[in-house]
Structure 1
């Protein structure tokens, strides 16, 4: 009985071992078959992707060539202005279809700059799917909305506390905390804007460079000693004006976010802008909005330059002679001049475009 039971147990063990071996062998074979099928699929997809890429590049080149040809013939009087305008709108709409659809992932990507590589390393931040690109844009818009509110709340709280609690003299820590927040803020904006540009956004290079300068200024200001008494009000006059300018910048950002984004959505619906385009240019609004935005922008730019000159003057007369004061003053003046020049340039472009449209309408009516 004992030998019979042992033999039966050994047979059961052998059968179980054979069954497990067969299942393992079957799993190995299935893994090989799956690998072969996946490799064949990748090869076929790569071949098809190459064909679509060639078609996309050819169509993009054709659209660019046709737009240049229409512009040249219209400028030379060989093409009716009304027809040229209609053809230009259709070509622009075709370009937006290519740039806004899934085919955009097959267009050549912009080279990643050193700023992105410095923070993220040599990875590809170009999204292959359009919905992912749009999520990046929406996150950027949300970040700007939160930024505008904090630009109002943070400096306003510091100015109120200065009058009510700190007897007209800022303590060092709250101001340095605000400057550290500015460093994080502008770094986040610049990083997001670089990624948006790589993914096909039309964001202007000047705004990215402007945020580079703001990052450097925030970093330098962290090392700026904020002295208290005596003569606290005189020594901290630049800090006070800088906080007031930050409040004005927050107001301007809120207006841009509210008015210009509505206009951008309209342009996207008409096929005159891409879905990846963002609100930063001062001329994205309609006339009534520009009458409100432009004075605020010019006042803010003038105030920015004034704060920079004030910092330079305090350094020249010896009130605050640290190198950080001189550096921040020069940087503020340069950024104000750049903002003013860019705003005037874009307004002139818009004015010339509107004048051209009016003249074409008059000529078509006559």
Structure 2
């Protein structure tokens, strides 16, 4: 009699054979994947060194283009009209080239800045595809909006309904965590090609420091006298930030669709030139918030003069609010002035 294999064992062997075939395919795919990774790493190194070399040579060519007309004048033989046109075309291309390098570098690994190196170490945070960059940027925008709404609700509850130092501490700790997280996320976004820079980055470092100082302020008469003023200010700031997030994201979407903005541009707490169309109504809200920071600063400085003021937090918070006011106010004024100037120049050319 033939020895018949049990049905269950036959099924197992068939499944195993099928699985073995898939596993061999997986091994081959993984081998190709590792090979491509090595190729990518090699191409990244090649691109980085080529960009560095191009930058160096572009600097030399730029110097030659500047010195060329001067040499012609010294030789008393001015360049022909054709040569002058060609030189102008070259100069325009030289001006445009750094932007092209910036776009290329946003997809290449680069060393972390000092802040990211301290926080994350030497971890590569460059996102290598457009999809992953946009996904990270959108997640940043959502995080910012959700946390702003949460802070709005928290400050509203603390101001109107409860008055416990423990809840105030939780609120201030949330502010510290929020601003510290923003600074890390923004540094990663800058590494990946976002153009947020200058004061609007530094602003979050100052805000994180200020929230940390208020968190350590001991409960007492001076803290209680400033508490409601600070909570009202926080409530207003969160409300304005919600407004900004809503209108700026709509404005950025339109400008990106028209090809006028970079896809990694972000919404910011302040006012930037691209917000001009349709967003000028936000300016009074922003300026009111800036002057509230100045009012907080003056209140704290007055408090520091009181004979019973022993807390160092009073003066440090006052100085922090002064820095925030000056940075926010002068940056916003500079942007508005620049925008008005460019509008005047455009109207004159028309």
- Shorter-chain TM-score: what band? 0.7 to 0.9
In structure 1, C-alpha distance between the alignment counterparts of 2:223 and 2:29, rounded to whole Å: 73
State how 1:137-216 maps to structure 2 within 5 Å.
Answer: 137-162=137-162, 170-216=163-209
Larger relative contact order, structure 1 or 2 (CA cutoff 8 Å, min sep 6): 1
In structure 2, C-alpha distance between the alignment counterparts of 1:117 and 1:41, rounded to whole Å: 28
The secondary structure found in structure 2 opposite 1:351 is helix
Check if 1:317 corresponds to 2:306. yes
**Aligned counterpart, 1:262:** 250
CA contact (8 A) 1:151 1:249 kept: no
The secondary structure found in structure 1 opposite 2:161 is helix
In structure 1, C-alpha distance between the alignment counterparts of 2:155 and 2:115, rounded to whole Å: 28
**Aligned counterpart, 1:5:** none
How big is the alpha-carbon RMSD for the aligned residues of Structure 1 and Structure 2?
Answer: 3.9
Deviations 1:304-345 (A, max 9, x none): 111121112112123533101111111111111111011111
The secondary structure found in structure 2 opposite 1:273 is coil
**Aligned counterpart, 1:11:** none
In structure 2, C-alpha distance between the alignment counterparts of 1:336 and 1:316, rounded to whole Å: 21
Structure 2 unaligned regions, length at least 5: 1-22, 66-80
Deviations 1:246-297 (A, max 9, x none): 111112111211111111112212222111111115133244421x211000
Count of residues paired in the alignment: 303
The Cα of 1:352 is off from its aligned counterpart by 1.4
**Aligned counterpart, 2:326:** 337
The Cα of 1:98 is off from its aligned counterpart by 8.0
In structure 2, C-alpha distance between the alignment counterparts of 1:270 and 1:216, rounded to whole Å: 39
Distance 1:277 1:320, change over 3 A: same
Deviations 1:125-183 (A, max 9, x none): 11122211111101110011112212321111001124xxxxxxx33211111111111
The Cα of 1:42 is off from its aligned counterpart by 5.5
CA contact (8 A) 2:51 2:101 kept: no
Distance 1:360 1:175, change over 3 A: same
Q: Which moved more, 1:192-201 or 1:119-128?
A: 119-128
Match of 2:347 among 344, 358, 364: 358
**Aligned counterpart, 2:71:** none
Q: Which moved more, 1:192-201 or 1:112-121?
A: 112-121
In structure 1, C-alpha distance between the alignment counterparts of 2:133 and 2:235, rounded to whole Å: 31
Match of 1:289 among 279, 282, 294: 279
State how 1:54-203 maps to structure 2 within 5 Å.
Answer: 99=103, 103=104, 105-106=106-107, 109=110, 111-162=111-162, 170-203=163-196
Q: Which has the larger radius of gyration?
A: 1
In structure 2, C-alpha distance between the alignment counterparts of 1:35 and 1:158, rounded to whole Å: 55
Deviations 1:180-233 (A, max 9, x none): 111111111111111111111011231221111111122222221112xxxx5x
In structure 1, C-alpha distance between the alignment counterparts of 2:99 and 2:265, rounded to whole Å: 13
Check if 1:248 corresponds to 2:236. yes
**Aligned counterpart, 1:348:** 337
**Aligned counterpart, 2:72:** none
**Aligned counterpart, 1:8:** none
In structure 2, C-alpha distance between the alignment counterparts of 1:96 and 1:299, rounded to whole Å: 40
Structure 1 moving runs of 4+ over 4 Å = 33-66, 94-98, 103-109
CA contact (8 A) 2:179 2:204 kept: yes
The Cα of 1:116 is off from its aligned counterpart by 1.5
The secondary structure found in structure 2 opposite 1:236 is helix
CA contact (8 A) 1:57 1:107 kept: no
**Aligned counterpart, 2:76:** none
Distance 1:131 1:58, change over 3 A: farther
Distance 1:120 1:267, change over 3 A: same
**Aligned counterpart, 2:219:** 226
